[in-house]
Chains A and B, each alone.
Chain A
Amino acid sequence: MAATETNLVTVTFDGRELQVAPGTPLVVAAAEVGIEIPVFCYEPRLGPPIGACRMCLVEVEIGGRAMPKLQAACTMTTQDGMVVRTAATSAPAKEGQDAVLEFLLLNHPLDCPVCDKGGECPLQDLTFRYGPGTSRMTIPKRTYEKPLPISPSVLIDRERCILCYRCTRFSSDVAEDGELVARERGARSVIATFEERPYVGAFSGNVTELCPVGALLPTPYRFKARPWEIVNVPTVCTGCAVGCNTWVTLREGKAERVISRNHPEVDEGWLCDRGRFARHEPLVERLAEPLIRDSSGLHPATWEEATRSTAQRLRHVSALKGAGAVAIVTGGNLTNEEAYGWAAIARSVGARTASGPVAAAGEWERLDPYAARIDDLDRSDLIVVIGDADVADRAGVVDLRIRKARRAGAHLAIVSAGGTILERDAGSFVAAPAGSAAAIVAALAGAGAAPAGVDLADLGARLAVASHPVLVVTDPIAIALIEQLAHTLRLHERGGVLPMPRGANERGARLAGLSGGGDAVLAGLESGEIRAVVLVGLDPTAEWPEAERWHMALAQADHVVTVSAFVNSAVSWSHIVLPQTVDHEREGTVTNLEGRIQRLRPVTKGPSGRSDLVAIAAIAEVLGVPVAPTPAKVYATLAADLTVPLSWSQLNGRAPLPSRGREARAPKKVAAPKAPPAPAAGRFVLVAPRPLFAGPAVERTAALAHQRAPWVMLNHADADALGVAEHDVISVTHAGGTHTGPLRISRRLVAGAVRINWAGAPATGDATVVRS
């Protein structure tokens, strides 16, 4: 500690002395002694301060010499012996602050009573605390057409804009999409999109939270509520396995908005547009009551009938056909407590289980000794992303974290078939045949040859010398292969692997006992060994590979029980349908990709009015298995079973991630994967990783329609050979259907591949490409 202390400098703020690290922004240092220096443009998450708004002007004296001008306390940093006088004690600083507030309010419409931001607006708050009571403005205010959509999900009111440039900095320096820019200059400067095209980016909604006034507002929340009539409930997004911390805004029994609840180790205050805008409550389309099929079809039933019938059928099949005749299949979207309940049921009837589509690609616990935390990216010097899927599609805001690490100096190496959004800014890019992620991982682990034409020498050399490499594999390949590579690279000693589960709580579900993969269940159904199947929060015919086979397999099962929030195509094969709750109707815990256990809080009640856990407990009770109907009790049991060190009450606020043991055992050797077959002449290899904007909630959200707009991507040489140009409408026909959209031409997508943002059942194989 002594060494650290000698590195500190002494700075005085309004007479209060402070020991602080040199180079700390004055606004931050002042806060440490309890002095607020108001700011508008300062936001450390957006990169270095820019000193634009001038709200933080202070008087500074260094070494007894006063600096001639007022200094911006965001860009000025601490030096030893500095004496800082803020507006509280310095008349010049006060004049500077008054000046800036007066200037900011000159053209601001002061329409707070009708502004959605009113009541939670930094400009309003700071004006109230520091501002003048009146205005000396006698000239007409600047006016603009308003509000204008900058995208279907975000509106801009340029009259309210105080040009702090937070939004454009987010676009250019955080999301790095360059979509939002400042146009014109001086007092006529406006925030705009390039050539008035909509702001299309997976993270565009964050600008509405960064905006310190009511200029950028989320379209779905416009005129929906006033801040004094809402309750913000702290919960966690279950859109993917990142587990971003959120506040869900509750008004009059409806969840109206999702905003970030910054967890620096997880999301750093960012949300993707799917987490922010996906609507889970088109209640009219929700399944509201249990259904049981009789000879004339599905009919409403009571919960009591439906749960009892489910239990009896499972017990019946199990008793008659023996262990393994029942399967419980989930998509990895249950809470830990629900998963525990289903696992208990599975044990009692000897059921097989699955929490993901492919067993080998779901063994996440194998990576535990090598697992990286999300914030390991901040410390990494080398980030290696292998796979055809984009990181943003698999794990939303991790994309932003990787970009941040790259800006801080980490080398970003990408091995993929090309055409991802992250590769544009990568330090090195290695083009690999589509679908070759497994072969690449094996080759890097020394367990196989690299695919023809792929040179991994440079990447191997970088991996060998990096001090904190982080490995990300975005494609669903056998975890044993990744484990082998991690072991070869000794990632238990430096850096680590970031797991990329598909389901939001796939890791938690496996730990609670729902291990296994859909591939085995499908085979069991087809061979007739499995006679009864429970599909929990999942429609394998829409979300998993082999959709057609699933349809046929479900059709021949004796009993299909579907637990779902929305009507889906599996319902048509189901004998019993139980309504399910969604995201912010649930209580319980989820385990994110790092293994961090976080707490979900119910914001609203589902249309059925019954929590999933109560229904699970009812089924379990019939089977004679004790499952408590309340999450806290189940969690206590679960935590004891799994030796989770955190108690229920410790899961409040920002959940910690206790460190784990990193003893690595030598993994068993895995056979090198076969190279994907080359397509027949005139056909293309399909690259269709499931996009971020997919799934039942996204499909039902108007504000996300533009994000789902289909497109087709081809290599420029292939496009030339086909005689098609950018924006031509192209049809791609593959095993899962036909996808039609405007053409994007890529120079990095490998020749012979076609990339599509297909949101239907995952498809691989080959495809035909024609101009439609």
Chain B
Amino acid sequence: MQGPTFAAPRADAILLDFEGERRALAQYEAAGGWAQAKAATGRAFDEIVQELKDSGLRGRGGAGFPTGLKVSFIGKGDRFLVINADESEPGTFKDRELILRNPHALLEGCVILCNAIGAKATYIFIRGEYATEAEVLNAAIEESYAKGYLGKPLSGTSNAVDIYVHRGAGAYICGEETALLSALNGFRGQPTAKPPFPAVSGAWKSPTLLNNVETVATVPYILAMGAQTYQALRTEQTTGTRLMSLSGNVQRPGNYELPVTATYRDLIDGCGGGVAGGRTMKAFIPGGSSAPILMPDMLDTQIAVETTAAAGSMAGSGAVIVIDTRTCMVQFALRVADFYRHESCGKCTPCREGTRWMVELLKRVEAGEATMDEIDLLVELCDRIEGKCLCPLGDACAMPVRSYLKHFRAEFEAHIDAPACPAGPASPFGALYPSLRRTLPVVPA
């Protein structure tokens, strides 16, 4: 079996600034690994928090919450660190590569944070489909135990850290922090109302710090170069580098580590070699399938959190999906909405019922069965889901579909004027919805 091939590192990369893999502990140590965990043992909680605050590091899981602030919120009691490796947002595959190529950076980050907050255990909740990645992590953990980085205190601290890998069972919702914790605690993977926040009641109902893989893996590098150096690479509100997952109709899909000052054009054209087959870009998604779509005129937007937000979307998990002009946006909307319908956990009403209704309406539009009113109804449905759910999953369905309706309403209307999808089999999604019309009753003219 051929292993994965990885993109060449860029000069300004931090996390993945090397060729190939660094899975062996010796390789990681040779590159200066574990020095920060050892050096940080003498540092107080407040010092680490200040360092993280000064670095300007923001969570890489999607919400972009300032990491230093999050660490400072942790409640008193037996604390735990939980790593969110349930990377499930369509288009996102950065944590996967990070784990495959640089697993020890994550483990070192875990130990640094555990020692800072006084946690004795880290749980890495990894999505069930990441079987190889879980194996790689477990191998790295085993090596670290053998070398004494885990399981006993590093010199200068009395805190011994254990790390456990917990594999999920295949639910997108478990990427949401409270659902993740429910599943980790042995319950149905469904979000719970906040408060209580994980910082107060998380793993085993104890104060829990919950961070994304990339966020925690960045911590040793920040300590190594110092917060001031790290934050020098910045836009107004975002600092450092990001791992960007590039996919869709693009020449060279893959993960690329870019400074947050880079633009989406740098990523798509520079790293990705532009739209595949020399075709024309129709639009792109900047931060995972739940992010509102952006038109090509926004390509010069910087990939930072606030710049992407100003452009009308969100940087999310850094998953960029390129869409070329062959794509039928109704089919695209249907594909996206159907994902969220399938993944809706069923706990709160607007998401459970709204996503299903939305998909059924989109099917009718795609099949040429709908009326003009139903397009308005779709927009209203987005209003009625967005901001009314228990967790962000409902929003994740409504926001993108609303953006497709905003930018490509004519395409939706064309489906109603014409008997069926005008793009038809030419669309990359044509193969997914070939039989919709055939299953409908034939009404004589």
Chain A interface residues (CB < 8 Å from chain B): 49-55, 57, 68-70, 72, 75, 95-96, 98-100, 102-104, 106-107, 136-139, 142, 162-163, 165, 181-182, 184-189
Nearest to A77 among chain B residues (CB) is B195
A51 x B390 contact (CB < 8 A): yes
A185 x B171 contact (CB < 8 A): yes
B193 x A51 contact (CB < 8 A): yes
B384 at the interface (CB under 8 A from A): yes
Query: Measured between C-beta atoms, what is the minimum distance from B86 to chain A in Å?
Result: 15
Could you jot down 7 A-B contacts, CB within 8 Å?
Answer: A72-B193, A99-B384, A103-B350, A137-B357, A138-B374, A165-B347, A189-B345
What A residues does B171 contact at CB under 8 A? 185
Query: Measured between C-beta atoms, what is the minimum distance from B258 to chain A in Å?
Result: 30
Measured CA separation A266–B344 after assembly (Å): 40
What B residues does A70 contact at CB under 8 A? 387-388
A186 x B355 contact (CB < 8 A): yes
What B residues does A136 contact at CB under 8 A? 377
Query: Measured between C-beta atoms, what is the minimum distance from B402 to chain A in Å?
Result: 15
- Interface bits B61-79 vs A (CB < 8 Å: 1, else 0): 0000000000000000000
B 282-319 contacts with A by CB, 8 A: none
Query: Measured between C-beta atoms, what is the minimum distance from A120 to chain B in Å?
Result: 22
Query: Measured between C-beta atoms, what is the minimum distance from B434 to chain A in Å?
Result: 21
Measured CA separation A103–B360 after assembly (Å): 14
Measured CA separation A365–B350 after assembly (Å): 57
What B residues does A186 contact at CB under 8 A? 341-346, 352, 355-356
What A residues does B355 contact at CB under 8 A? 186-187
B188 x A103 contact (CB < 8 A): no
The residue from B346, B374, B389, B390 contacting A185, defined by CB atoms under 8 A apart: B346
Query: Measured between C-beta atoms, what is the minimum distance from A574 to chain B in Å?
Result: 58
The residue from B342, B357, B384 contacting A95, defined by CB atoms under 8 A apart: B384
Measured CA separation A163–B349 after assembly (Å): 8
B353 x A107 contact (CB < 8 A): yes
What B residues does A185 contact at CB under 8 A? 171, 173, 343-346
Given contacts A139-B357, A139-B364, A186-B352, contact A54 B344 (CB under 8 A): no
What A residues does B356 contact at CB under 8 A? 106, 142, 186-187
Measured CA separation A366–B171 after assembly (Å): 60
Measured CA separation A624–B119 after assembly (Å): 82
Measured CA separation A165–B188 after assembly (Å): 12
B388 x A163 contact (CB < 8 A): no
What B residues does A188 contact at CB under 8 A? 346
Measured CA separation A99–B388 after assembly (Å): 9
Measured CA separation A707–B130 after assembly (Å): 45
Which one of A49, A75, A165, A187 has the greatest number of beta carbons of chain B within 10 Å?
A187
Nearest to B196 among chain A residues (CB) is A48
Nearest to B377 among chain A residues (CB) is A136
Measured CA separation A237–B349 after assembly (Å): 37
A106 x B357 contact (CB < 8 A): yes
B193 x A50 contact (CB < 8 A): yes
Given contacts A70-B388, A96-B388, contact A187 B353 (CB under 8 A): yes
Q: Which 6 A-B pairs have the closest CB atoms?
A: A189-B346, A99-B384, A186-B344, A103-B353, A187-B356, A75-B193
Measured CA separation A98–B343 after assembly (Å): 24
Chain B interface residues (CB < 8 Å from chain A): 171, 173, 188, 192-193, 341-350, 352-357, 360-361, 364, 374, 377, 383-385, 387-390
What B residues does A100 contact at CB under 8 A? 349-350, 388
Given A103-B354, A142-B356, A187-B355, 15 more pairs with CB closer than 8 A: A52-B348, A54-B350, A99-B350, A100-B349, A103-B350, A104-B353, A138-B374, A139-B357, A163-B346, A163-B349, A181-B188, A186-B343, A186-B352, A187-B344, A187-B346
Query: Measured between C-beta atoms, what is the minimum distance from B131 to chain A in Å?
Result: 22
Given contacts A50-B193, A139-B360, A139-B361, contact A187 B341 (CB under 8 A): yes
What A residues does B361 contact at CB under 8 A? 138-139
Measured CA separation A49–B374 after assembly (Å): 35
Measured CA separation A50–B360 after assembly (Å): 28
Given contacts A95-B384, A137-B357, contact A53 B349 (CB under 8 A): yes
Measured CA separation A95–B188 after assembly (Å): 30
What A residues does B352 contact at CB under 8 A? 103, 163, 186-187, 189
Query: Measured between C-beta atoms, what is the minimum distance from A543 to chain B in Å?
Result: 43
What B residues does A163 contact at CB under 8 A? 346-347, 349, 352
Measured CA separation A678–B264 after assembly (Å): 83
Query: Measured between C-beta atoms, what is the minimum distance from B154 to chain A in Å?
Result: 37
Given contacts A57-B388, A103-B384, A138-B374, contact A51 B345 (CB under 8 A): no
Nearest to A165 among chain B residues (CB) is B347
Measured CA separation A162–B353 after assembly (Å): 10
Measured CA separation A106–B351 after assembly (Å): 13
Given contacts A106-B353, A107-B353, contact A53 B348 (CB under 8 A): yes
B353 x A54 contact (CB < 8 A): no
Measured CA separation A49–B345 after assembly (Å): 18
Measured CA separation A186–B359 after assembly (Å): 13
The residue from B193, B347, B383 contacting A49, defined by CB atoms under 8 A apart: B193
A51 x B341 contact (CB < 8 A): no
The residue from A49, A52, A137, A138 contacting B349, defined by CB atoms under 8 A apart: A52
A52 x B390 contact (CB < 8 A): yes
Query: Measured between C-beta atoms, what is the minimum distance from B383 to chain A in Å?
Result: 7
What B residues does A184 contact at CB under 8 A? 346
Given contacts A104-B353, A187-B355, contact A182 B346 (CB under 8 A): yes
B349 x A54 contact (CB < 8 A): yes
Measured CA separation A162–B342 after assembly (Å): 18
Query: Measured between C-beta atoms, what is the minimum distance from B91 to chain A in Å?
Result: 21
Given contacts A70-B388, A95-B384, contact A51 B348 (CB under 8 A): yes
The residue from B345, B348, B377 contacting A54, defined by CB atoms under 8 A apart: B348
Measured CA separation A564–B353 after assembly (Å): 56
Nearest to A140 among chain B residues (CB) is B360
The residue from A52, A104, A138 contacting B347, defined by CB atoms under 8 A apart: A52
Nearest to B363 among chain A residues (CB) is A139
Measured CA separation A187–B383 after assembly (Å): 19
What A residues does B346 contact at CB under 8 A? 163, 182, 184-189
What B residues does A187 contact at CB under 8 A? 341, 344, 346, 352-353, 355-356
Nearest to B346 among chain A residues (CB) is A189
Given contacts A50-B193, A186-B352, contact A102 B344 (CB under 8 A): no
Which one of A95, A186, A188 has the greatest number of beta carbons of chain B within 10 Å?
A186
What A residues does B344 contact at CB under 8 A? 185-187
Query: Measured between C-beta atoms, what is the minimum distance from B51 to chain A in Å?
Result: 30
Given contacts A72-B193, A75-B193, A187-B352, contact A54 B384 (CB under 8 A): no
What A residues does B374 contact at CB under 8 A? 138
Query: Measured between C-beta atoms, what is the minimum distance from A91 to chain B in Å?
Result: 12
Nearest to B389 among chain A residues (CB) is A54
Measured CA separation A236–B383 after assembly (Å): 50
What B residues does A54 contact at CB under 8 A? 348-350, 388-390
What A residues does B348 contact at CB under 8 A? 51-54
Measured CA separation A51–B348 after assembly (Å): 7
Nearest to A142 among chain B residues (CB) is B356
A104 x B387 contact (CB < 8 A): no
Measured CA separation A186–B171 after assembly (Å): 11
Measured CA separation A55–B385 after assembly (Å): 13
Query: Measured between C-beta atoms, what is the minimum distance from B398 to chain A in Å?
Result: 11
Measured CA separation A184–B344 after assembly (Å): 10
What B residues does A51 contact at CB under 8 A? 193, 348, 390
Nearest to B393 among chain A residues (CB) is A186
Measured CA separation A59–B307 after assembly (Å): 29
Query: Measured between C-beta atoms, what is the minimum distance from A130 to chain B in Å?
Result: 14
What B residues does A53 contact at CB under 8 A? 348-349
Measured CA separation A648–B394 after assembly (Å): 57
Query: Measured between C-beta atoms, what is the minimum distance from B185 to chain A in Å?
Result: 13
Query: Measured between C-beta atoms, what is the minimum distance from A289 to chain B in Å?
Result: 58
What A residues does B364 contact at CB under 8 A? 138-139
Query: Measured between C-beta atoms, what is the minimum distance from A97 to chain B in Å?
Result: 10
Nearest to B342 among chain A residues (CB) is A186
What B residues does A104 contact at CB under 8 A? 349, 353
